[in-house]
Chains A and B, each alone.
Chain A
Amino acid sequence: MNKREIKNNFKNIMVVCVACFSILILVMIFGFIIKESVPAISREGFKLFSGMLWYPTHSEPEYGLAAMFIGSLLITLLTAVIVLPLGYIIAFFMYGYAKPWEKNIIKSSIDLLSGVPSVIIGSFLLVYVAPIFFKLGAWSRENILLGAVGLTILSLPYTASLMEEAMSSVDKSMKEGALALGATKFRAGFSVISKAAMPGLMNAVILTLNRIIGETMVVLMASGGAAIIPMSLWDPVRPLTAAIASEMGEVELGSIHYSALFAAGLVLLTISFILTLISKKISRRSSK
Chain B
Amino acid sequence: MKRDIVISIIFRVISYAAFAIVIAIFLTFILEGFMYFSPEFFTQFPQMGMTKGGIFPAIIGSVSVLLLSLAVAIPLGVFTGVFLSEYAGKGFFSKIVDTSITALSGVPSIVYGLFGLSIFCITLGFRTSILSGSLTLAIMTLPVISSSVREALQAVPRELRESAYALGAKKSEVVFKVVLTAAKERIITAVLIGGGRVIGETAPILLTGAIFYSTMMPKGILDPVMTLPSHIYYITMAYGQSAQWMAKGASAFLMIFILIIYSTAFYIRRKIGNAHK
- Stretch of B49-57, B159-167, B218-226, B244-252 contacting A (4+ beta carbons < 8 Å): B244-252
A248 at the binding interface (Cβ < 8 Å): yes
Given A185-B8, A245-B207, A262-B118, decide whether A215 and B108 contact each other with a Cβ distance below 8 A. Answer: yes
The listed residue (B87, B112, B197, B229) touching A16 by CB distance below 8 A is B87
A90 at the binding interface (Cβ < 8 Å): yes
B134 at the binding interface (Cβ < 8 Å): no
Are B76 and A33 in contact, CB atoms less than 8 angstroms apart? no
A-B residue pairs, 6 tightest by C-beta: A214-B108, A117-B200, A276-B106, A11-B172, A18-B79, A184-B4
B183 at the binding interface (Cβ < 8 Å): no
Give chain A interface residues in 119-140, CB to chain B under 8 Å: 119-120, 122-124, 126-128
Across-interface contacts of A33 in B (CB, < 8 A): 111, 114-115, 118
- Interface size range on B against A: 35 or more
- Stretch of B36-44, B63-71, B261-269 contacting A (4+ beta carbons < 8 Å): B261-269
Across-interface contacts of B47 in A (CB, < 8 A): none
Across-interface contacts of A248 in B (CB, < 8 A): 113-114, 117, 206-207
Are A22 and B80 in contact, CB atoms less than 8 angstroms apart? yes
B139 at the binding interface (Cβ < 8 Å): yes
Once the chains are docked, how many angstroms separate the CA of A39 from the CA of B180? 47
The total number of A-B Cβ pairs within 8 Å is: 252
The listed residue (B15, B102, B237) touching A90 by CB distance below 8 A is B15
Q: Using an 8 Å CB-CB cutoff, how does the interface string of A150-169 with B read, 1 for contact, 0 for none?
A: 00010011000000000000
Once the chains are docked, how many angstroms separate the CA of A157 from the CA of B173? 40
The listed residue (B103, B114, B171, B201) touching A12 by CB distance below 8 A is B171
B interface residues with partner A (beta carbon < 8 Å) = 1, 3-4, 7-8, 11-12, 14-15, 18-19, 22-23, 25-26, 28-29, 75-76, 79-80, 82-84, 86-88, 96-97, 99-115, 117-119, 122-123, 139, 142-143, 146, 170-173, 175-176, 193, 196-197, 199-203, 206-207, 229, 232-233, 236-237, 244, 247-248, 251, 254-255, 258-259, 261-263, 266
Which residue of chain A lies nearest to B108 when distances are taken between CB atoms in the complex? A214
Across-interface contacts of B80 in A (CB, < 8 A): 18-19, 21-22
Are B97 and A217 in contact, CB atoms less than 8 angstroms apart? no
Once the chains are docked, how many angstroms separate the CA of A36 from the CA of B114? 10
A199 at the binding interface (Cβ < 8 Å): no
